[in-house]
Amino acid sequence: MRIGILGGTGPAGSALAARLASIGYTCVIGSRSKYRSMEIRDKLVAKWGDLADLLECADNPGAAECDIVVIATPWDSAATTAQEFAHLLEGKVVVSMANALVRVGHEFQPLVPPRGSVAAHVQAAVPKCRVVAAFHHLPATELGHLGSPIDSDVLICSDDPEATEVIAEIVKKIPGCRPLDAGELSNATAIEAFTAVLLQLNVRYKTRVAPKLTGIRGDPRETKSAAAPVDAAPVSEIPQHRDGSPS
């Protein structure tokens, strides 16, 4: 399986390419400039020589021809980039990892893009693709430290359960990562916005955090068809405050 990364020359895309290559996937680092892509690929191969056969460079259209395509551009160009290559992406699983954030002084604040999230905006731009939101919370530095596992959950959401499954299978192979099916693409709003909280914690505690959730045993996707937990009330029965939040 070949995985293409649009905007794969940045810290996040290049680290993801190296990490995915380290678990056996052929990764094509895409860029608006094939030369920049060559430069980044050369740097990665200089560091991780054994990945030479699995890392390729290309322009963005070359990366968009892959079986699965990740959009790793800044958030405000994710949807336009997807739209530019819509004809090459049709029918494919397209991963959106962008977070719409702004730094105001020492604070990170989430922005609300059109349709509530970058991922939803991308899905609207390429309606014939199966957009999956994933990888938002993995810090590029840890992603690129191939010698160390990444101790993190990876929240994945999509309107296409099969597409979620495809990405979960990939995440499962990344040492230390646990894929969690976080439901439909509408949840990308919360997932993306939560990144601002994580970055804020990084600043406060002078570290790089990654999320791990407690209370989930086994693979939640395997229990999906099982009966709902006995203490889970249907939404209509959950007492709510007047503003609609659960009491």
Ligand X SMILES: NC(=O)c1ccc[n+]([C@@H]2O[C@H](COP(=O)([O-])OP(=O)(O)OC[C@H]3O[C@@H](n4cnc5c(N)ncnc54)[C@H](OP(=O)(O)O)[C@@H]3O)[C@@H](O)[C@H]2O)c1
Give least dist CB 228 to ligand X, A.
32
Instruction: Between 92 and 121, name the residue whose CB sits nearer to ligand X.
Output: 121
Residue 60 and residue 81 in contact, taking contact as beta carbons nearer than 8 Å: yes
* Burial (CB count within 10 angstroms: exposed 0-12, middle 13-18, buried 19+), residue 208: middle
Instruction: Between 12 and 180, name the residue whose CB sits nearer to ligand X.
Output: 12
Instruction: Between 18 and 72, name the residue whose CB sits nearer to ligand X.
Output: 72
Give least dist CB 30 to ligand X, A.
7
CB count in 10 Å sphere of residue 211? 17
Tokens of 6: 């649009």
Tokens of 194: 């939560």
Give least dist CB 150 to ligand X, A.
11
Instruction: Between 74 and 161, name the residue whose CB sits nearer to ligand X.
Output: 74
Give least dist CB 33 to ligand X, A.
6
What DSSP assignment string belongs to 156-214? EEES-HHHHHHHHHHHHTSTTEEEEE--SGGGHHHHHHHHHHHHHHHHHHTS------S
Give least dist CB 31 to ligand X, A.
3
Instruction: Between 99 and 164, name the residue whose CB sits nearer to ligand X.
Output: 99
Instruction: Between 112 and 232, name the residue whose CB sits nearer to ligand X.
Output: 112
Residue numbers of the site for ligand X (CB under 6 A)?
Answer: 7, 9-13, 31-33, 36, 72-75, 77, 81, 97-99, 135-136, 138-140
| Residue whose beta carbon is closest to ligand X | 10
Give least dist CB 54 to ligand X, A.
20
d(CA 23, CA 245): 42
DSSP structure class, residue 74? -
Instruction: Label residues 14-37 b or e (16+ Cβ within 10 Å = b).
Output: bbbbbbbbbeebbbbbbbeebebb
Residue 55, phi then psi, degrees to nearest 5: -110, 125
